[in-house]
Amino acid sequence: DAGVIQSPRHEVTEMGQEVTLRCKPISGHNSLFWYRQTMMRGLELLIYFNNNVPIDDSGMPEDRFSAKMPNASFSTLKIQPSEPRDSAVYFCASSLRSVTDTQYFGPGTRLTVL
Amino acid sequence: GENVEQHPSTLSVQEGDSAVIKCTYSDSASNYFPWYKQELGKGPQLIIDIRSNVGEKKDQRIAVTLNKTAKHFSLHITETQPEDSAVYFCAARSNFGNEKLTFGTGTRLTIIP
């Protein structure tokens, strides 16, 4: 069975450009999480969805970040406009039912904003 | 909110020796403590977890211990092998209020052949 799928794996863009990261959760999983990993701040939860509905977006850094989950098999994290400090590895994870279930992480997207 | 501290940040051990990584947490309501292993270029993968109704859990060469009174938990890897080299993260979660996982800052474990 395929795990969590993320695309692209690497993204290099220039400051001010829009960036869209994509995630396909494990089939049948009802919760989806977006994390950001940096050396300075470690692994931080940005937002999580349950049954396609955003439950907690308190970790979203600012209005430049937005996330959507139009259906059970797809989610996007968008940064507009991007800034150099957004450079990080962004992970998507999914769990079977809720935030209290085991989370399975994707391989991540390494974002570099020049 | 929850605060999780993890030590050491780096750890090198000889192959075959044991490795111990320690974490402390601040929220006494936390009751779920997973450990994740992250290999280079990959996402974190759950390797073992413990809930607050038990003090120790083992899975082959890996064990986790929990001391709720002191609010700390530890990962023990015995008979270490080169493939154990990775970054390990502890995490904690409460079932009350904010239920999200709070991660430690990670330990880079290197097994010396």
Q: Over chain A, what HEC string results?
A: CCCCEEECCEEEECCCCCEEEEEECCCCCCEEEEEEEECCCEEEEEEEEECCEEEECCCCCCCCEEEEEEECCEEEEEECCCCHHHCEEEEEEEECCCCCCCCEECCCEEEEEC
Are the C-beta atoms of residues B89 and B6 closer than 8 Å to each other?
Answer: yes
- The 10s digit of each residue's pLDDT in B62-101 is 999 999 999 999 999 999 999 999 999 999 987 666 678 8
Is B51's pLDDT higher than 90? no
Per-residue pLDDT tens over the stretch A33-51: 999 999 888 899 999 999 9
The half-sphere exposure of B48 on its side-chain side, counting CA atoms within 13 A, is 18
Residue A67 has pLDDT above 90, yes or no: yes
- Residue B86, SS3? strand
Q: Mean pLDDT of all residues in chain A?
A: 94
> What pLDDT shows up at residue B53?
77
Nearest to B100 among A48, A107, A108 (CB): A48
By the 8 A CB rule, do A6 and A107 touch?
Answer: yes
The nearest alpha carbon in chain A to B95 belongs to A100
Q: Which chain A positions have a beta carbon within 8 Å of B89's beta carbon?
A: 42-43
pLDDT for the residue A1: 62
B101 contacts in A (CB within 8 Å)? 45, 99, 103
Per-residue model confidence as pLDDT tens digits over A77-87: 999 999 999 99
Distance of alpha carbon A84 from alpha carbon B113, whole angstroms? 39
Note the pLDDT of residue A41. Answer: 85
Interface of A with B (CB under 8 A): 4, 42-45, 48, 56, 59, 91, 93, 99-100, 102-108
With CA atoms as reference, the chain A residue closest to B107 would be: A42
Distance from CA of B103 to the nearest CA of A (A): 6
Contact A93 B41 (CB under 8 A): no
Q: Which of B34, B49, B100 shows the shortest C-beta gap to A56?
A: B100
Res. B44: pLDDT tops 70: yes
List of chain B residues whose C-beta atoms are within 8 Å of the C-beta of residue A59: 100
Contact between chains at B43 and A102 (C-beta distance less than 8 A): no
Gap between the Cα atoms of B72 and B85, Å rounded: 23
Beta pairing partners, A104: A94
User: B73 vs chain A: nearest CA distance in angstroms?
Assistant: 18
Instruction: State the pLDDT at residue B17.
Output: 97
Pairwise CB contact (< 8 Å): A48 & B34: no
Residue B106 — pLDDT band, cuts 50, 70, 90? very high
- Six token digits for residue B28: 């006494």
